[in-house]
Amino acid sequence: MARNCLAANDWICWEYVSSRSQELTDATVQHIWITAVSVLIGLLVAFPLALLARGRKGVAATVLGITTVLYTVPSLAMFALLLPLFGLSAGLVITGLVLYSLTILVRNILAGLESVPPDALEAARGMGYGRIRLLFEVELPLALPALMAGLRIATVATVALTTIGSLVDHGGLGNLIEQGLPTFFKAQILTASVLCVVLAIAADLLLLGLQRLLTPWTRIRTAKAG
Amino acid sequence: MGVFTQAWTWLATGSHWSGEDGAWHRLGEHVYVSALALLVSCLIALPLALWLGHIGKGGALAVNLSNVGRAIPVFAVLALFMVTPLRNAGYLPTVIALVLFAVPPLLTNAYVGMREVDPAAVEAARGMGMSGRQLFLQVELPLAYPLIMTGLRSAAVQIIATATIAAMAGLGGLGRIVTEGFAVYDTPQVVAGAMLVAALALLVEGVLVAVDRIFSPVRGRS
């Protein structure tokens, strides 16, 4: 019983969690704010881009093409390329993460806007809706499920990708993973990895709850169909 | 922009392409690992997603499973492998990590594609006396095809981009060009490596778009 799991380098070690709770909390907090800021900026950039690309085949192809190219740039190289602009800062990691999230967000927002039935648009226009009212009262609500699906995917992926930020010491829980690697510190690597996954699932559930609150009509429809 | 010119110079240098560490060899390794991972991912995700979509059950399971997979950081998976005996298992750790990342888009897209088939079409097919098998092959699958292909495309691109992390585990692939450049602060080499990965991803995307157009069952019907 007196065996020390830290000395034995066990995978699961409560003593590690309790003795390093401050370090773990700091890393988790950093992880959360880097993810949140990245996704929010991603959303703010993706929405106008999707609006711009909607209904214009050429613009849509260009926007989707560029964001896809950005997505294919490996994270290692992305951070190396942004390094001269930002230095070893959180801005470097956040910019990289925003660029990655754009592919998912733009695609989903665009798909959501384009899936709005033409009948609904025509009916609203016939009722005298202007462009702004049409966007906010008809198109946006109808596109919301696709938009939220994209937001959930982007958030979960960003939580996971944030770990790569450990390359420049702004990777939240990834920092702990990286620090644990050279010494084979199993408890630290596993605890940080598990926390990453828990964080991602928590964020996903939170957004799912938000989606349900925002789209009550989708539940009524499924209830009737079932 | 100077960096990109230097990257072009790097790419234009013949000696960078030959030998064990050469770009051709790395490209071969990259394609091998990516293709293997995509194949395994398809074998896991597509039958499951199509079946779940057909019987109309397990939606929450499919989506949540895929989200769990997406939530797992590749870096963490590799780090975990690197402190276990699996680090000596060649490309296995990389392929496992890539499959974990590729299954979500495949599964979710195929499942959503199957579920979003117009219920009226399904009802009409049932009313015409179609069996479950006929319904699946002649109605659901063709109508779900575009979304399934979208999932396949994003999975392929994602795998090719993510396969660069194989280099972090000391394995091959185009990521080696990037990490080796990173290690010696050779930015032109880093950019050249990144450009090769991006070019490969775009090429594969283009090929898949072409395949999609040629084989699309709903081509010309709209």
Q: Which domain holds residue B39?
A: 2-9+21-216
Does residue B15 lie in a domain region?
Answer: no
Does residue B155 lie in a domain region?
Answer: yes
Q: B67 contacts in A (CB within 8 Å)?
A: 152-153, 156, 200-201, 204
Q: A164 contacts in B (CB within 8 Å)?
A: 73, 75
The rounded distance, in Å, linking the Cα atoms of B67 and A44 is 23
Query: What single letter denotes the amino acid at residue B210?
Result: A
Residues 6+ apart with CB under 8 A from B141: B50, B217
Does residue B16 lie in a domain region?
Answer: no
0.80 exceeded by pTM: no
The rounded distance, in Å, linking the Cα atoms of B86 and B79 is 11
Does residue B181 lie in a domain region?
Answer: yes
The rounded distance, in Å, linking the Cα atoms of B31 and B36 is 8
Closest CA in chain A for residue B77: A193
Exposed (0-12), middle (13-18) or buried (19+): which is A111, by Cβ within 10 Å?
middle
C-alpha distances in Å from residue A207, one per residue of A13, A46, A147, A151, B149: 31, 18, 11, 8, 27
Does residue B221 lie in a domain region?
Answer: no
The rounded distance, in Å, linking the Cα atoms of A176 and A193 is 9
Token pair of A144, please?
Answer: 């919301």
Does residue B48 lie in a domain region?
Answer: yes
- In this structure, the number of other CB atoms found within 10 A of the CB of residue A179 comes to 17
Q: B198 contacts in A (CB within 8 Å)?
A: 69, 72-73
Determine contact, residues A177/B80, Cβ cutoff 8 Å.
Answer: no
Residue A71 at interface with chain B, using a CB cutoff of 8 Å: yes
Residue B22 DSSP label: S
Token pair of A136, please?
Answer: 């906010």
Residue A225 at interface with chain B, using a CB cutoff of 8 Å: yes
Q: Do A161 and B76 touch (CB under 8 A)?
A: no
Q: How many domains does chain B have?
A: 1
Among A78, A161, A186, the residue with its CB nearest the CB of B83 is A186
Q: Kindly report the CATH number assigned to the domain that includes residue B120.
A: 1.10.3720.10
Among B76, B157, B182, the residue with its CB nearest the CB of A80 is B182
- A91-121 confidence digits (pLDDT tens): 888 999 999 899 889 989 998 888 888 888 8
Written as tens digits, the pLDDT of chain B (222 aa) is: 577 788 888 888 888 888 777 888 888 889 999 999 999 999 998 998 888 888 877 777 777 766 666 677 877 887 788 777 777 777 788 888 888 878 887 888 888 888 888 888 888 888 888 888 888 888 888 888 888 888 888 889 888 888 887 676 667 788 888 777 777 777 788 788 888 888 888 899 889 888 888 877 765 554
The rounded distance, in Å, linking the Cα atoms of A163 and B76 is 8
Exposed (0-12), middle (13-18) or buried (19+): which is B210, by Cβ within 10 Å?
exposed
Q: Which of residues 123-182 of B touch A (CB under 8 A)?
A: 157-158, 160-162, 164-165, 167-168, 175, 178-179, 181-182
Q: What angle do CA A126, A131, A132 make, to 5 degrees?
A: 125
Exposed (0-12), middle (13-18) or buried (19+): which is A169, by Cβ within 10 Å?
middle
Domains of chain A: 22-215 (1.10.3720.10)
